[in-house]
Chains A and B, each alone.
Chain A
Amino acid sequence: MKKKIEVSGDLKEKIGLMFVLIIEIAIFSFMNGNYFSAANAKNILVSSSLTGLVAIAETYQIIATSIDMSTGSVAAFSGVFAAMLLNKGMNPVATLLFALVAGGIVGVINGVFVTKLKIEPFITTLATMEIIRGFAYIICDGKAVYISDDFFINLGSYQILGFLSIPVLVLIISFIIFGIVLKRTCLGRSVYVLGGNKYAARLAGLKPNTIILKMFIISGVLSALGGVFLAARMNSGQPSACDNLAFDGVTAAVLGGTAFSGGVGTMLGTVIGVFIIQCFNTGLTMMNVQIFWQDVAQGVLLILALSFDYFRKQRRNKKLILASENSK
């Protein structure tokens, strides 16, 4: 018999989000005939892959009342790092592994600062964001690193079954795996519990520090993975890439129902949130909207997401109060 975590499994919210997504696609399709096409769908999926991976990580973080702002820098660094390793002759698989480990190490650093030095996650990861970004520029002397390795180039463009590229496949698998972990494992449950009441979690025998550390490692590895795929797609490691990545990931998660106050959120919601954002961005690009307006749009989307969050919280509290009376 399946069990739901009642607060985060609010079906009505998910349906509402799907509705928003559908209306969005409808509007853009109306404005540009090419929008509703297989080619564009592929396009959107591919461009979702990086944001999607980071959104997964941020979902975990935000549920546990934490956050990781360094994801963009880690992604850029990994892309540059991988490109440089490849050019030095390392084989692609090892390169990928090294890049992921690098991301994991940043995660450990973030985790240690948050748990041992007790610095707020937002501040800590802002700092590492700057530091890692700096290193991204340092190791490549400020210049983009071009990739000539065939395997890697294929990684970005090869299509399985004719339409699924590898980054997209990895994204889908990640959504599924991390979604299952969130719902059905001790780690996933611990993430929710941490977001509900950290002190009570500790008294109940959970180890908050271990959980936080694991979450930051996940964050680092997923960002690195996304960064490597991005570099593969662009055929180069760019130290300036992924400026807004953390921002995008957080917006997607919050839009999808992950409450900023913690303790609430689902992977399914985040998936829909990611697509709402990516469809939006792609739509604006297809309408030849200047790239700068996309920044404005992103900001507005985040405010919208936070407003939804606020209203949802009000609704949730009301439901709780009404329910607690009726149960007497």
Chain B
Amino acid sequence: MADYVEFKHIEKVFPGVRALKDISFKVESGIVYAFLGENGAGKSTLLKILNGDYMPTSGEYIINGETEHFSNPKEAIEHGVSVIYQERQIVMDMTVAENVFLGGWPKNSKGLIDYDLMNGKTAEIAKKFGININPKSKASEISIAYQQMVEIMKAINRDCKIIAFDEPTSSLGDEETEILFNIIRSLQSEGKIIFYVSHRMDEIRQIAQKAIIFKDGSLVDVVDVEKTSDDELIKKMVGRSLGDIFKELKRNDKIGEPILEVKNLTTHYVKNVSFKVHKGEILGFSGLVGSGRTETMRALFGVDKVLSGEILLNGKPIHPSCPTDAIKLGIAYCPEDRKEEGILPNMSVGTNITISVMERYKSKFGLLDFGKENKTIQKNIEDLKIKTPQQETLITQLSGGNQQKVILARWLETNPDVLILDEPTKGIDVGAKSEFYKIICECARSGKAVIFISSEMPEIIGMSDRVIVMKGGKISAELSREEANEETILKYAMVSMVS
């Protein structure tokens, strides 16, 4: 008979918080179930109950017909449950094989640890799942990704029937993620029950068949991943569809006069680009990758050379020859690739925020006034809700979404009149995206001219007052908010306007 797990009316209450409310569902073997939901929705809490870390306040869970009640992780493991967390739970000083057999090292006839057996079995498991690892390597010597695989091998060795993964790919590269997925597929074909917690939609579509959606501690729905669109999933997770999110934004209705005018701008990458941006307006720039949107902005920002044409700021022609010039003129450009062009990887969160305006904190003898600077940094962290342990934390330790917030804070600090955002929400989860949209609308309301480049249709359509579509280095169309919809934009992104 195939394995199954059933949750019946699980409740988990902490002082002041109902973390799980009446969770009931049944899962079967050989299927990968994705746990979806915003932070705090209850996914990890449920896993902790299954794992024996927590005990439910009420309700029960049944594994293969037996009502279980794990009072500690050891019991859970003995009953075939294994949860693989992001924090490595392996012993660094021991070898791979020793870790795989942790808690149950086999002994030989003489009563000594049977290393041959351990190493042999470990090598077998590794080979079976295609993991390129040496059982005799010390855990501290292998990469983080492989340490994670050691944990998986531990679960396999214990013949766990239920294996859960909590955000497993956050520190994995593409290749390593593929290896992980292959392992999961193998486990699936052996009839294991797999839970997969992640924010990444594209991964879930690759690996999971069903999605269990949590919201505010309750179970919203269990759906077939294939049959449900991203938008529907988001709607279930967040309670509103993306469309609702955009509708709820407090948009700016007081659009002022034009502040920036670009006339027949030609660089090495774009030709004859002309457009205007008004104070308080959000001007969307749409188009396929390589259509020239970023390149247009780089000319405005003094990065690319202007071959011909004019840029007028408040009616006066400007010629920024470097970003420093542009910033002084009141133009800010938040780059597309935060990793290569945005973050200063060896510096703290605080420094990353104030770097473009550090001259402001000069006091006696040219020394920086740290007190004054720290106040500004703190204000930005609070206003933008940047999640960081401290101001001094290295920026590379923050999540992608928070890093992006830091970069945005940097540009907001320069007090620009024109704020150019190039794919600002790329690689950021849905919940964090809506925070960005709110901030951007606030910028518009405060009178800034915002240029918003994005390849995500819902964003462009939801945020912009007008949409400019580019194709092949030229402007293909200019659409009003009413005219802008996915079809029209795609039409102009792919076909040049022939007059």
Residues of A at under 8 Å CB distance from B?
Answer: 1-8, 180, 184-186, 189, 192-193, 195-197, 199-207, 262-264, 320-328
Pair A325/B333 contact, Cβ less than 8 Å: no
Pair B346/A326 contact, Cβ less than 8 Å: no
Contacts of A185 in B (CB 8 A): 362, 366-368
Pair A207/B346 contact, Cβ less than 8 Å: no
**Further contacts, 15 of them, CB under 8 A, given A5-B348, A192-B347:** A3-B391, A180-B367, A184-B370, A185-B366, A185-B367, A193-B347, A200-B342, A200-B343, A201-B355, A202-B323, A203-B303, A204-B356, A206-B324, A324-B396, A325-B171
Contacts of B391 in A (CB 8 A): 3
The residue of chain A having its C-beta at the shortest distance from the C-beta of B402 within the complex is A327
The listed residue (A3, A189, A207, A321) touching B358 by CB distance below 8 A is A189
Pair A327/B346 contact, Cβ less than 8 Å: no
Contacts of B351 in A (CB 8 A): 5, 189, 193
| 14 A–B contacts from the bound complex (CB under 8 Å) | A3-B391, A7-B347, A7-B394, A186-B359, A186-B366, A193-B351, A196-B344, A196-B346, A196-B347, A200-B342, A202-B303, A203-B301, A264-B346, A322-B144
CA distance A200 to B323 in the complex (A): 11
Contacts of B327 in A (CB 8 A): 205
Pair A325/B344 contact, Cβ less than 8 Å: no
The yes or no answer to B374 lying at the interface (CB within 8 A) is yes
Contacts of B104 in A (CB 8 A): none
Contacts of A202 in B (CB 8 A): 303, 322-323
Please give the distance in Å from B34's CB to the nearest CB on chain A: 18
Contacts of B333 in A (CB 8 A): 203
- Given A189-B358, A207-B324, A328-B170, check contact A6 B341 (CB 8 Å): no
Among B86, B303, B324, B344: residue with most chain A CB under 10 A: B344
Pair B368/A321 contact, Cβ less than 8 Å: no
- Given A2-B370, A321-B171, A326-B87, check contact A205 B324 (CB 8 Å): yes
Contacts of B397 in A (CB 8 A): 320, 323-324, 327
Contacts of B370 in A (CB 8 A): 1-3, 184
Contacts of A207 in B (CB 8 A): 322, 324
- Given A189-B368, A207-B324, A320-B394, check contact A328 B399 (CB 8 Å): yes
The yes or no answer to B410 lying at the interface (CB within 8 A) is yes
The yes or no answer to B398 lying at the interface (CB within 8 A) is yes
The yes or no answer to B217 lying at the interface (CB within 8 A) is no
Among B88, B301, B362, B397: residue with most chain A CB under 10 A: B397
Residues of chain B from 346 to 379 with CB closer than 8 A to chain A in the complex: 346-348, 350-351, 355-356, 358-359, 362, 366-368, 370-371, 373-374
Pair B398/A195 contact, Cβ less than 8 Å: no
The listed residue (B170, B341, B373, B399) touching A203 by CB distance below 8 A is B341
Pair A7/B346 contact, Cβ less than 8 Å: yes
- Given A189-B358, A203-B341, A320-B396, check contact A325 B346 (CB 8 Å): no
Contacts of B344 in A (CB 8 A): 193, 196-197, 200-201, 204
Residues of chain B from 419 to 468 with CB closer than 8 A to chain A in the complex: none
The A-B contact count (CB < 8 A) is 121
Residues of B at under 8 Å CB distance from A?
Answer: 86-88, 144, 167, 170-171, 301, 303, 322-324, 327, 333, 335, 340-348, 350-351, 355-356, 358-359, 362, 366-368, 370-371, 373-374, 389, 391-394, 396-399, 410, 414
Please give the distance in Å from B335's CB to the nearest CB on chain A: 6
The residue of chain A having its C-beta at the shortest distance from the C-beta of B342 within the complex is A200
Please give the distance in Å from A183's CB to the nearest CB on chain B: 9
Contacts of A5 in B (CB 8 A): 346-348, 351
CA distance A202 to B341 in the complex (A): 9
Contacts of A184 in B (CB 8 A): 367-368, 370
Interface class of chain B by DSSP: mixed
CA distance A317 to B325 in the complex (A): 36
CA distance A13 to B31 in the complex (A): 50
Contacts of B167 in A (CB 8 A): 328
Please give the distance in Å from B153's CB to the nearest CB on chain A: 19
Pair A6/B358 contact, Cβ less than 8 Å: no
Pair B374/A325 contact, Cβ less than 8 Å: no
Contacts of A264 in B (CB 8 A): 346
CA distance A263 to B356 in the complex (A): 18
Pair A193/B323 contact, Cβ less than 8 Å: no
Please give the distance in Å from A262's CB to the nearest CB on chain B: 8
CA distance A186 to B356 in the complex (A): 10
Please give the distance in Å from A89's CB to the nearest CB on chain B: 37
- Given A3-B374, A197-B345, A327-B399, check contact A205 B171 (CB 8 Å): no
Among B171, B346, B362, B396: residue with most chain A CB under 10 A: B346
The residue of chain B having its C-beta at the shortest distance from the C-beta of A324 within the complex is B397
Contacts of A324 in B (CB 8 A): 171, 396-397
CA distance A61 to B370 in the complex (A): 25
Pair B392/A205 contact, Cβ less than 8 Å: no
Contacts of A325 in B (CB 8 A): 86-88, 144, 170-171
Please give the distance in Å from A30's CB to the nearest CB on chain B: 35
CA distance A178 to B167 in the complex (A): 46
Pair A327/B389 contact, Cβ less than 8 Å: yes
CA distance A192 to B323 in the complex (A): 19
| Top 8 closest pairs, chain A to chain B, by CB | A263-B346, A196-B346, A205-B356, A205-B327, A323-B397, A184-B367, A196-B344, A205-B324
Pair B346/A195 contact, Cβ less than 8 Å: yes
CA distance A4 to B350 in the complex (A): 10
Pair B171/A186 contact, Cβ less than 8 Å: no
Pair A200/B322 contact, Cβ less than 8 Å: no
The residue of chain A having its C-beta at the shortest distance from the C-beta of B387 within the complex is A327
CA distance A39 to B141 in the complex (A): 48
CA distance A328 to B343 in the complex (A): 19
- Given A3-B374, A184-B367, A203-B335, check contact A327 B347 (CB 8 Å): no
Contacts of B348 in A (CB 8 A): 3, 5-6
Please give the distance in Å from B374's CB to the nearest CB on chain A: 6
Please give the distance in Å from A317's CB to the nearest CB on chain B: 10
